[in-house]
Amino acid sequence: MSCSSHQVQSYGIPFLAEFRRQATDRNRTSPIAFTGNKFEFRAVGASHNPSWSTTVLNTITADSLAFLDGEIQRLIRSGKSAADATRTVIADTLTKHERVIFDGNGYAPEWQTEAAKRGLLNLKSTPDAFRHFLDEKNLELFRSTQVLAEDELRLRQYVRSICCPYTT
C-alpha cells in the first residue's frame, strides 16, 4: 500500500492526534527506518545480511501488537468504549514498561549505571547476547507467533556455534 504525504492519518480515537502520513522515513541515519510498507534494518555493513535481525524485530513487533490488540478487545468486550480501552491499555503499558525508556546517551558510562539501577539486562557484546538465544521467553516468542519452531531455533544456535564458537 502506498501512501501520500497529503493523506491524514486518523485512528478514530479522539485523544490520538491526527497527522500527515509520510511514505518513508526521511531520516537516512535511522537504524530502523520505515520505508513505505516495511521497516529496514540499517545497522549492518554492506557485506552482512540483515534478514535475521529484521525477522527478530518484526516477530517482537507482531507479538507486541497482538498483545495490545488482545488487551484492547478484552476491555471492549467488558463494556469499555474503544477510546477508553485504548487509553487504558496505553497507560497500563507505559506504566509497566517505563523503565526501558531512556532519552539520554546510551553509549555513555552513566547509562551502565542507570540500566543497572532500573534492573535492565544490559548485554555489552554479541557473545553475551547469544548466550540468551534459547532462553524460554525467546523460544515462546517464536513458538507463539509461529515464525519458527523450537527445532529451527535450536538448529540456528547449533550452526552459529560451529561458525562462530565465541557466541555460545
Tens of pLDDT along 81-132?
Answer: 999 999 999 999 999 999 988 777 777 888 888 889 999 887 777 777 788 8
DSSP letters of the chain? ----TTSEE--S-TTSPPEE--SB---TT-SEEEBSSSEEE--S-TTS--HHHHHHHHHHHHHHHHHHHHHHHHHHHTT--HHHHHHHHHHHHHHHHGGG---S-TTSHHHHHHHHHTT-----SHHHHHTTTT-HHHHHHHHHHTSS-HHHHHHHHHHHHHH-GGG-
* Annotated domain spans of the chain: 1-43, 49-121, 123-168
Determine the pLDDT at residue 26. Answer: 54
